[in-house]
Amino acid sequence: MSREYMAPEEIEKKSMEIIERELNGLTYSFEQKQIIKRVIHTTCDVEFGKSIIFHPQAIAAGLEAIKSGKRIITDVHMVEAGIRAYDLTDFGNEILCFFDKDKNEPNKNNLPRAVLAMRKAQRYMNESIIVIGNAPTALFEVVDMIKEGGVRPVLVIGIPVGFVGAAKSKEELSQLEVPYITNKGRKGGSTIACAIINALIKLANSRL
């Protein structure tokens, strides 16, 4: 059987056209829409168009941080691997992930590995972008660090997934003054976190 296949660029263009139609009636800024469309393209879930929440300064802060070469800290290696590092070449951003770093160290309190990762990353967090796509425990830890420890990232992308803690951790993030991008509910995941940071990286490159 003979099939005709579209080129990847054509598939993406057509997909974005479909997403644009399905977002009809929802109001966003140009930058917000680019991020939301990238998330929907990744998940095929148009409901993210209604559930993603942007702090008023989130996009401006994220773009400035990327263009200024600020660090990007991730909760897990899957997010680290999914960031388009080759598109950061002009900016020189360092991507850090401390998940399972020194995993043979004693863990007397049996803390979740994501919490330990955030604690190892704490000294790098000021003026960094933090991208959490997997563990609600990681986001809870970052929220506590911001509220109690004086940590001041320039942007927190908090999109953990799960039935336990995910929705609550995002709700707590959305109550902070620190710029954030998150969503309502328990949906999330590393691919969505990557879609958001990669959309910001693409926007930063378009403004060189």
Residue 77 known to be catalytic: no
Least confident of 9-18, 118-127, 183-192: 9-18
Among 33, 41, 77, 202, the active-site one is 41
Greatest C-alpha distance within the chain: 64
Comparing CA positions, the residue from 78, 13, 1, 79 lying closest to residue 41 is: 13
Least confident of 12-21, 73-82, 163-172: 12-21
Rg (CA), the chain: 17
Bigger pLDDT: 125 vs 109: 125
pTM of the model: 0.91
If you search the block for the tokens 């004693």, which residue do you land on? Answer: 106
**All structural domains of the chain:** 53-206 (3.40.50.10230)
Percent with pLDDT over 90 in the chain: 74
User: For 31-83, how does the pLDDT look when each residue is reduced to its tens digit (9 = 90+)?
Assistant: 999 999 999 999 999 989 889 999 999 999 999 999 999 999 999 999 999 99
Where does the pLDDT of residue 108 fall: very low under 50, low under 70, confident under 90, or very high at 90 and above? low
**For residue 25, is pLDDT > 70?**
yes
- Identify the three-state secondary structure at position 178: coil
Q: Is 79 buried (19+), middle (13-18) or exposed (0-12) by CB count in 10 A?
A: buried
**For residue 194, is pLDDT > 90?**
yes
- Identify the three-state secondary structure at position 96: strand
The predicted structure's pLDDT at residue 159: 96
Percent with pLDDT over 70 in the chain: 95
Where does the pLDDT of residue 107 fall: very low under 50, low under 70, confident under 90, or very high at 90 and above? low
Q: What is the token pair recorded at 124?
A: 């790098």
Bigger pLDDT: 126 vs 5: 126
Where does the pLDDT of residue 23 fall: very low under 50, low under 70, confident under 90, or very high at 90 and above? confident
Q: Report d(CA 33, CA 31) in Å as an integer.
A: 5
If you search the block for the tokens 């998330």, which residue do you land on? Answer: 39
**For residue 208, is pLDDT > 70?**
no
DSSP 109-141: T---HHHHHHHHHGGG-TT-EEEE-S-HHHHHH
User: For 81-106, how does the pLDDT look when each residue is reduced to its tens digit (9 = 90+)?
Assistant: 999 999 999 999 999 999 976 666 65
